[in-house]
């Protein structure tokens, strides 16, 4: 058997110091394996396959402004809140996910690692880059919940979580949210816009069980967003934050192919 067939399992790690954090670039071993069969967005800048992939379907964002004083106690040392024109934001995000998994095993992951996810996140920055931190996450399968908790991410099992996108309608049962999708042509957020600030986030930060704060860098193609008109009034109190009477925006994106490409120890 050629080594190229197990390229997703052989990793070459290269550590480098960058300021007050250590960055480990992870790249898979390659031997006579063409990347041309994979989408360009899951290849890194050298054309090599990244070491793990996920598929996100029907990613549904609802965004609120939130009081800075309520968010700051949730931000670990080494990270700071990222503000847009002086405002902090929280978001409720629902999606259907497959993975993460080594790229060649992603089709098999649809059996064991296919699940609905609902998370609450806020926006942070560190030396590695601008990103998000998950404040709470619910999934309806036990394997992704256990796997994420090993790495300190706040995942919880919610067997009754139900998320559906059908006939241009969005329905989420926890909390009870319904909306209609605008079927005009999707758009890509422009650089410097609020939409870009809230969705173009390529670092996911967390605190590991041993206490270290770390980040995982992801890559994917640009978002193609459609606005969603919510059918019920929603306050940010449904996710535990006051100070906002209604969302500032809601969007949905059909599918992105996500690669995990880098790990940084922040503190």
Above 80 in pLDDT, residue 50?
A: no
Residue 242 pLDDT class (50, 70, 90 cuts)? confident
pTM for the whole structure: 0.81
Average pLDDT of the residues of the chain: 82
Asked, as a colleague might, if the bond just before 240 is cis with ω within 30 of 0, I would say: no
SS3 70: helix
The residues near 191 (Cβ < 8 Å, ≥ 6 apart) are none
Residues 6 or more apart whose Cβ sits within 8 Å of residue 79 = 124, 125, 126, 133, 205, 213, 266
Contact at 8 Å (CB) between 210 and 262? no
Flag whether pLDDT at 13 surpasses 70. Answer: no
Residue 243 confidence (pLDDT) above 60: yes
**Helices and strands of the chain, counted as H and E runs:** 4, 15
pLDDT at 45 over 90: no
Q: Domain extents for the chain?
A: 54-258
Topology of 54-258 in CATH?
Acetoacetate decarboxylase-like (2.40.400)
pLDDT in tens, 189-236: 999 999 999 999 999 999 999 999 999 999 999 999 999 999 988 888
- What residue has token string 């063409």? 34
Is residue 218 within 8 A of residue 132, CB to CB? The reply is: no
- DSSP run (H or E) holding 228: strand 226-230
CA–CA separation, 216 vs 204, rounded Å? 5
Cα 191 to Cα 80, 135, 199, 222, distances in angstroms: 21, 26, 11, 11
- Mean pLDDT across the stretch 158-184? 95
Closest C-alpha among 55, 93, 57 to residue 165: 57
**Section 233-250 average pLDDT:** 85
pLDDT category at 49 given cuts 50, 70, 90 is: very low
Please state the separation of Cα 23 from the chain's center in Å.
20
Portion of the chain with pLDDT greater than 70, in percent:
80
How far apart are alpha carbons 183 and 198 in whole angstroms?
Answer: 21
Q: pLDDT-derived band of residue 7, with 50, 70 and 90 as boundaries?
A: very low
Which burial class, exposed, middle or buried, applies to 117 when counting CB atoms under 10 A from its CB (0-12, 13-18, 19+)? buried
Res 21: pLDDT: 29
79-101: average pLDDT: 96
Q: Which residues pair with 97 in a beta bridge?
A: 56, 115
Residue 37 has pLDDT above 50, yes or no: no
Strand partners, 258: 54
Per-residue pLDDT for 262 more than 60?
Answer: yes
User: pLDDT tens-digit profile of 94-134?
Assistant: 999 999 988 777 777 788 889 999 999 999 999 999 999 99
Query: 142: helix, coil or strand?
Result: helix
CA–CA dist 61, 57 (Å, integer): 12
142 backbone dihedrals φ, ψ, rounded to 5°: -75, -35
State residue 244's pLDDT score.
62
Return the structure tokens found at 108: 């098999």
Q: Is 13 or 261 the better-scoring residue by pLDDT?
A: 261
Asked if residues 77 and 84 have their Cβ atoms less than 8 Å apart, the reply is: no
Pair type for strands 129-139 and 155-157: parallel
């Amino acid at each position: 058997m050629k080594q190229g067939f197990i390229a997703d399992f052989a990793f070459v790690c290269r550590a480098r110091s960058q300021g007050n954090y250590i960055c480990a670039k992870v790249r898979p071993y390659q031997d006579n394996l063409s990347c041309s069969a994979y989408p360009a967005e899951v290849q890194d800048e050298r054309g090599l396959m990244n070491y793990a992939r996920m598929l996100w379907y029907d990613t549904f964002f609802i965004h609120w402004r939130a009081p800075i004083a309520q968010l700051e106690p949730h931000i670990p040392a080494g990270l700071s809140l990222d503000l847009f024109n002086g405002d902090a934001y929280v978001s409720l995000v629902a999606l259907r996910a497959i993975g993460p998994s080594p790229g060649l095993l992603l089709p098999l992951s649809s059996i064991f690692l296919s699940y609905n996810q609902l998370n609450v996140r806020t926006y942070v920055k560190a030396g590695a880059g601008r990103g998000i931190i998950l404040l709470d996450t619910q999934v309806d399968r036990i394997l992704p919940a256990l796997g994420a908790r090993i790495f300190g991410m706040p995942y919880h099992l919610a067997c009754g979580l139900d998320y559906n996108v059908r006939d241009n309608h969005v329905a989420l049962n926890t909390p009870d949210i319904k909306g209609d999708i605008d079927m005009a042509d999707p758009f890509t957020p422009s650089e410097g816009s609020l939409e870009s600030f809230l969705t173009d986030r390529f670092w996911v930060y967390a605190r590991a069980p041993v206490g270290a704060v770390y980040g995982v860098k992801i890559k994917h193609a640009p978002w193609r967003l459609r606005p969603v008109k919510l059918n019920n009034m929603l306050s940010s109190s449904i996710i535990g934050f006051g100070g906002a009477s209604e969302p500032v925006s809601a969007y949905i994106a059909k599918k992105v192919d996500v690669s995990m490409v880098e790990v940084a120890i922040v503190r």
